[in-house]
Amino acid sequence: MDLALFDFDGTITDRETMPAFMRAAVRTHRLWLGSTLLLPFILGYKARVVSGTLVRKVICRFGFWRIPAHELEAHGQQFARDALPATLRPEAMERIAWHKRRGDAVVVVSGGLDLYLSPWCQEHGIELLCSTLEQRGGRFTGRYLGRQCVRDEKARLVRERFPLSQFSRVFAYGDTPEDRELLALAHESYYRWQLISPDRMLPE
């Protein structure tokens, strides 16, 4: 059996889905206030002087603090059902189907949130490693539970769940430098759907 590891946003999808989920799930008054208060972080991210990890941390903390779990879980289910299908790349879904026909273990490894990724992966019979938000007393704290599933955390979680020596071959698919460590696990790595050599360095 082989192992196939897929990043989600920009790899399986043709766009970033987490910002769209935030717009759908964050309460309206927080969305309007956050668009002003958090603008420096967002502009800094676009200018590549603020990391995606920090931006996601700040936005989730502001948007989801003290929100009841059932409210966000309902948004996640709805987003997976109604919004994600329009974002899927046909070539990605064909590749996933190819791996499943071969009997490979197929895993989404994403910095996105389990709120919407979990129902989508369940629908498609795909395993999931991703970022999770902390809950206390039935409400979200806005903090991440553990580290965000990006960079070396992607590789660590894969190794923890799937001992690589048990697989004949490992495939990995990604589209940003946050996937470097994930792609480095594989015998066969695809960056933006192009096969890359093991010694090729991705941009930081």
> Given this model, what pLDDT does residue 153 score?
97
**pTM for the structure as a whole:** 0.93
Q: Which residues of the chain fall short of a pLDDT of 70? A: 198-204
> Given this model, what pLDDT does residue 73 score?
97
> Given this model, what pLDDT does residue 35 score?
84
> Given this model, what pLDDT does residue 22 score?
95
> Given this model, what pLDDT does residue 41 score?
87
Write out the H or E segment, with its range, that includes residue 32: helix 28-37
> Given this model, what pLDDT does residue 203 score?
56
CATH of 3-196, one of 1.20.81.30, 3.40.190.10, 3.40.50.1000, 3.30.365.10: 3.40.50.1000
The DSSP secondary structure of 37-83, one letter per residue, reads HTHHHHHHHHTTSS-HHHHHHHHHHHHHTT-BHHHHHHHHHHHHHHT
> Given this model, what pLDDT does residue 66 score?
97
Domain ranges of the chain: 3-196
> Given this model, what pLDDT does residue 200 score?
60
